[in-house]
Amino acid sequence: MTGNQSKSAQSSQPAEIDVLIVGAGFAGVYQLQQLRKRGFNAQIFEAGATLGGIWYWNCYPGARVDTHVPMYEFSDKDLWQDWNWSERFPDWAELRRYFAYVDKKWDLSKDISFNTRVIAAEFDEAQSQWLVTTDDGKVTRANSVVFCTGFAAKSYIPEFEGLEDFEGVSHHTAHWPQEGLDFTGKRVGIIGTGASGVQVAQEAGGTAAALTIFQRTPILALAMQQKKLDVATQDEMKKEYPARYKRRNESSGGFDFPETEKSALEVSDEERNATFEDAWSKGGFSFWSNTFNDILLNMEANQTAYDFWRSKVHARVTDPAIAETLAPKIAPHPFGVKRPSLEQNYYELFNQNNVAVVDLKKTPLEKITAAGVQVDGKEHELDILVMATGFDAVTGGLIQIDIKGTRGETLKQHWEKGAKTQLGVAVNGFPNMLLVYGPQSPSGFCNGPSCAEIQGDWIIKMLEDMRQQEICRYEATAEAEATWTDHVNMIGEMTMFPKADSWYMGANIPGKPRQILNYPGGVQLYMEQCNNAAKEGYTGFVLEGFKSK
């Protein structure tokens, strides 16, 4: 079956494959390539029209990565030696070109069904296989299913009163029209100031007649320090790629930053400020993850980072009142416990006459009207309303699929009181199902391509071991699931992440259980425990061999 076949041309008879992969982003593509090399019959079902995962859907103005290259690409020399980027932080269009390049080099599309959304999966006890149903009604049999749906596969729009009455154009950033949308001369409103809100604002601010940013919580955005890259520069950079990828694999967050051993409280004010300045000048996530080792563990240390950040913002915004709205004296939450956005000229926007910010904490949004957004009795008239309202992150993309395990229980029901897994890769009651970049793995705390390879290699090795040992069924135990969940929660309580209402905690979705959804102990500690389990014969799993005929 090839990715170019139409659904109508595909067989209506159930097919049987070794491994069905759901999602063709970094994780899914890596699984397919590596499993094929090891002789598995593997295929991908992808809801989008091309490779790229989130980079097919993220095509809103300004959409770009927040991880610097070469960290945001595969480490395969066969790929990077002939590929060059135009920017340090590439945009969505360049990411699409990169995935097209990867597709050509690895010959992937022949084993991918595009425009094919998985809507249900049910485990067949008798055959120890999954029956996977797609939106065209087709059913596929697979011995194993690997979900690579990512942490941002389900968008979220709050239940704003009157949203359906708005007569202008409105889109969530995750469902942007593929043909684009022109802001020129329009009155644009953006609800939300996370990564997508910041990126759209930077584009709209330059062309819109008026831009109104509706801010609930100030975004603690960091300097991107974007720069153009030419071929000669990258040829020189590539001499260091092997060493940088090695550091990526050895770091806590999947980046190539050197590990820091110092506390923010044990150094002088001068040294602390110099360290902050150095990280700020490097840009990207350096200031978030590569200054001092106690920024996310100690409130006093954390405050020093927030105060430095605030001083940077106030120096760029001319109106003191607006500066205070964007960077208040009292931090809205500890620095770094919500995912920082990267910005290029976001704060300078507020010095422009065509840009305004509405503080929804002071004056909550009342309703959406036919003409715009009403706040405190005032109607802000708009032509375009951008919903940068985020995602039901980490778990949402999985539980929106009707995944039914061995007890007649769906994954949504199993996680009704909170996600629980073994090692962030497997779930009790759902045999032969594995997760890459799923809940209770490093996920949102780890650079995506890094986890696609590091965690992905462990899953590939497990599938190899199951085949070699002639295991037809593997399943996480309830005891292991409970132990791992307690472990993740314990580490989370040692940090300041629970002190913010973030998607890291599931707190952005009404009714969602509040828990830390990503493993906060770092990639190295995480992989150490995964590797130990594998060495001991996959502790925490029940393994069953094929029954004799």
Interval 154-181: pLDDT, tens? 999 999 999 999 999 999 999 999 999 9
Which residue type, as a one-letter code, is found at position 27? A
| Per-residue pLDDT at 259 | 85
Cβ atoms of 438 and 394 closer than 8 Å: yes
CB 395 within 8 A of CB 156: no
Confidence band, pLDDT 50/70/90 cuts, at residue 144: very high
- Model confidence over 442-481: pLDDT tens digits? 999 999 999 999 999 999 999 999 999 999 999 999 999 9
Residue-wise pLDDT for 104-121, tens only, equals 999 999 999 999 999 999
pLDDT of 549 above 60 = no
Half-sphere exposure of 350 (CA within 13 A, CB side): 23
Report all structural domains of the chain as residue ranges with CATH numbers, in order of start.
Answer: 7-51+108-154+393-545 (3.50.50.60), 163-228+257-387 (no CATH)
Look at residue 547 in the predicted model and tell me its pLDDT.
60
Share of the chain above pLDDT 90, in %: 96
Q: What is the pLDDT of residues 10-52, one digit of tens each?
A: 434 556 899 999 999 999 999 999 999 999 999 999 999 999 9
pTM for this predicted structure: 0.95
Share the mean pLDDT of the chain. 95
Given a cut of 60, whether residue 3 has pLDDT beyond it is: no
pLDDT(5) > 50: no
Residue 187, pLDDT > 60, answer yes
Distance CA 311, CA 287 (A): 14
Enter the DSSP assignment of 268.
Answer: -
Joined tokens for residue 228? 């153009």
Of all helices (H) and strands (E), which one includes residue 112? strand 112-113
Residues 379, 377: Cα–Cα separation, whole Å: 7
What does each C-alpha distance from 46 to 21, 79, 135, 149, 250 come to in angstroms? 9, 22, 11, 9, 31
249: left (phi over 0), alpha (psi -120 to 50) or beta: alpha
Cα gap 238→80, rounded to integer Å: 8
Band (pLDDT 50/70/90 cuts) for residue 546 is confident
pLDDT in tens, 337-377: 999 999 999 999 999 999 999 999 999 999 999 999 999 99
pLDDT tens column, 254-291: 999 988 899 999 999 999 999 999 999 999 999 999 99
Q: Which residues contact 232 (CB under 8 A, 6 or more apart)?
A: none
Report CA torsion sign: 42, 47, 48, 54.
negative
Six token digits for residue 449: 């391509």
Q: What is the mean pLDDT of residues 215-222?
A: 97
- CA dist 108 and 239 (Å) reads 28
Q: How do residues 63-114 score in pLDDT, each as one tens digit?
A: 999 999 999 999 999 999 999 999 999 999 999 999 999 999 999 999 999 9
Reply yes or no on whether the pLDDT at 303 is more than 60: yes
pLDDT value at residue 15: 63
Long-range contacts of 370-375 (CB under 8 A, 24+ apart): 370/162, 370/165, 370/166, 370/167, 371/167, 371/168, 372/166, 372/168, 372/187, 372/189, 373/189, 373/191, 373/212, 373/214, 375/214
**Hey, which bits of 312-449 come out as E strands?**
342-343, 355-359, 365-368, 372-375, 378-381, 384-387, 402-404, 433-435
